[in-house]
Structure 1
Amino acid sequence: MTIELDHTIVPSRSQVKSAKLLSELLGVAWAEKSVGPFSPVYINCGLTLDFQETEEDFPIYHFCFRVTEAEFDAILERIKAAGIEYRSMLRGSMDMQVNTEFGGRLIYWNEPDGHQWEMLTVSYARQER
């Protein structure tokens, strides 16, 4: 059996706003409410990010999305159109640059709750098979 990540919970101060924003930027579907207390974002046919509103303290999460070159261009245009600042490195200033050091393109941006999103076209975390 192949093990796949099905879903994970993303804590939020405003789950509907955060879920809607991410779905619009990525160009994927979402639902304001689903089964239970979540606002799910359907990343692909096998992965859902379930945004859940909380007043408790929570850590900042990091999520990385691998996309095609065409998807990268489309998402980056939506990020720019939304006026969202982005950067080329994990840490540092919002330099509004695209990193090309790893044989593809990548950027990072933060959403209102502080969670860090990364988008890349070539994974530097694992070798392609």
Structure 2
Amino acid sequence: MPALFNHTIIASRDRTVSAEFYRSILEADEAPAWGPFSNLSLAGGVMLQFAEPPVEIQMQHYAFLVDEAHFDRAYQQLVSTGVEHWADPQMTRPGETNTEHGGRGVYFKDPSGHALELITKPYF
């Protein structure tokens, strides 16, 4: 069996706030919480777990592939809620999206400072 991505833990300042932010943007399903985790379920059985570590949080980058309609809804939500966003990972093109790799993309940060990316076409 080839390896499949199953889950990751996303360090959060407030696990509940972070999980709700991702749930809303990604239109993800809530999954049962346990122990120190607030959980979400994505397509393909992938779980995102949010926890509050007792250490300084280092920024990570998470990219999510969505369809065009989902991108439109998520982008409208970013704009309407005032979430700062960029067309590029260097954050030199604020308030824009990109059309690279044959689709659309946007970069923004989650409530804990992680860099998120939504794309409508995979890079390969």
Which TM-score applies when normalising by structure 1? 0.88
Q: Equivalent pairs: percent with the same residue? A: 32
CA contact (8 A) 1:13 1:55 kept: no
1:66 maps to 65
Cα distance between partner residues in 2 of 1:67 and 1:91: 22
Cα distance between partner residues in 2 of 1:68 and 1:109: 18
2:55 maps to 56
1:120 maps to 119
**1:84, CA displacement in angstroms?**
0.7
Q: Relative CO higher for 1 or 2, CA cutoff 8 Å, sep ≥ 6?
A: 2
Counterparts of 1:25-44 in structure 2, within 5 Å, are 25-31=25-31, 34-44=33-43
The ranges of structure 1 where at least 4 consecutive aligned residues each deviate by more than 6 angstroms after the TM superposition are none
Name structure 1 gaps, 5 residues minimum: none
Determine which structure has the larger strand proportion and give its number: 2
Cα distance between partner residues in 2 of 1:92 and 1:27: 25
CA contact (8 A) 1:87 1:108 kept: yes
Which TM-score applies when normalising by structure 2? 0.91
1:77 maps to 76
Name structure 2 gaps, 5 residues minimum: none
Cα distance between partner residues in 2 of 1:29 and 1:6: 15
CA contact (8 A) 1:88 1:106 kept: yes
1:4 maps to 4
| RMSD, aligned CA | 1.5
Change in 2 beyond 3 A, CA 1:48/1:97 = same
**1:58, CA displacement in angstroms?**
2.7
**1:66, CA displacement in angstroms?**
0.6
Determine which structure has the larger helix proportion and give its number: 2
